[in-house]
Structure 1
Amino acid sequence: MDDHLLIAKAISSMVRNMAHFEVLYEAENGSVLINKFKTRDSVPDIVLLDISMPIMDGFQTAQWLQEKYPTVKILVLSMQDDEDSVIKMIKYGVKGYLHKNTPPAELEKALTNVTEQGIYFPNWATSIVLQTISNNKHKKLITSDEKLSHRELEFLHYACTELTYKEIADQMCCSPRTVEGYRDALFDKLNIKTRTGLAMFAVKAGIVKL
């Protein structure tokens, strides 16, 4: 049996032991997954996706899912934890990123958070994203988005750095409470619950260019 299918079955067995989740099927690569999507009536809420797969890898699969099934949440489970891989997958709309050595308890936590909050990135992945954004010199604010005010966009720009909320308030020449107001307004408008989620939105929407 192919190693990738063996790994998929092992992960499936792990998920089946979790109380609130069920497995619809396994796929050893992206091409097989596409065929299953096309030939079955049921589409999963979450896809656990590896990057290193034969025939059609995780990058290609995530891009296809983003285009064809944007409501399906992708949780990456991969040995590739480098900056380029994490950022590229975020651009393809993934909702979480885990190392393949993640223990079952964290995998269950990630699945629960993706289901309930829409996102799960452990500290190491969040640090990669924020550092990449902070180090990039070609940040761009979008001021034509009518849903967000200029000050909300300015806050979103700072939220994608590693500044604390108090430091953001100093940069924006306002009080910490006002900054919290911008944050809460964005949480409400964008249906996002975490600062990491705001950073993911900013990257995907092109508010911050990587």
Structure 2
Amino acid sequence: MKRSIVIIDDHVLIANALSGIISNFNQFEVLYVCENGQDFQDKLKEKHPVPDLVLLDISMPIMDGFETAKWLKTTHPNVLIMALSMQDDDDSLIKMIKNGAKGYMLKNVHPTELEIALNTIANKGHYFPEWAASKIFTSISDDTIDAKLKIKISDRETEFLKYSITEMTYKEISEKMFCSPRTVENYRDSLFEKLELKTRVGLAVYALKNGYTE
């Protein structure tokens, strides 16, 4: 079964080019294209289908990517958001993650990388290229880490943190930990709350920076 995608980008040529490229991917289908977040909201009100994944441009008129991501996070939390940008600046990356983006990609990526990125976010729930993960890593200040080290993390949560760095899915982690996938999700949610994080990438960065490795 194909995963459905909506492209939100005010640059018509780029949006149509992306749609054409993605149409060649067996695993995905583009439902429709929107010019901005408001256009997307309007289409949903008109009973257009809600997609599995949104490719969301950041810089748009009327309703930009930041606002749209924040709205989606509240109204349709199951929709995966892949941010699209022409720039790799730290502020946009961190702000989009805080607003609910589960992936971040530059518009000049090769179609092969685009397909890998879409498959990764669809199957694992997140996708951040190496340059983005590096920026997220450095965005966590030493003061913040020092404060978080004082937080009590259980042995089982520590074990989960070590696995969070790997490419394993939550189901595979549950098999390694000899527990149910739901229990693993509980460990994840507990750590999200304790460490004030929102993504698995954030957990992985925290684990690496604090020595939670195998």
Tell me the CA shift for residue 190 of structure 1. 2.8
Corresponding position of 2:201: 199
| Correspondence for 2:143 | 137
Matched positions, count? 174
| Runs of at least 5 residues in structure 2 that lack an aligned partner in the other structure | 1-8, 167-172, 189-198, 206-214
Would you say the 8 A contact 1:51–1:80 is kept in 2? no
Unpaired stretches in structure 1, ≥5 consecutive residues:
166-180, 204-210
Structure 2: distance between partners of 1:43 and 1:122: 26
Equivalents in 2 of 1:28, 1:74: separation in Å? 16
Q: Does 1:190 align with 2:196?
A: no
Query: What CA distance in whole angstroms lies between the structure 1 residues aligned with 2:72 and 2:62?
Result: 16
Structure-1 residue corresponding to 2:16: 9
- The residue type equivalent to 1:190 in the other structure is E
Matching of residue 19 in structure 1 with residue 19 in structure 2: no
Partner of 1:58: 65
**Structure 1 residue 29 corresponds to structure 2 residue 25:** no
Deviation at 1:3, TM superposition (A): 6.0
Contact 1:5 1:27 in 2 (8 A): no
Query: Runs of at least 4 residues of structure 1 off by over 2 A?
Result: 138-144, 149-160, 184-188, 197-203
Alignment check: 8 A CA contact 2:10 2:34 kept: no
Identity %: 45
TM-score using structure 1 length: 0.70
Higher strand share: 2
Hey, what's the Cα distance between the residues in 2 that align with 1:159 and 1:128?
21
Would you say the 8 A contact 1:31–1:56 is kept in 2? yes
Q: In the aligned structure 2, how far is the partner of 1:9 from the partner of 1:112?
A: 20
Distance 1:125 1:72 in 2: 21
Is 1:75 matched with 2:82? yes
The separation in 2 between residues aligned to 1:49 and 1:116, in whole angstroms, is 19
- Paired residue for 1:126, among 127, 130, 133? 133
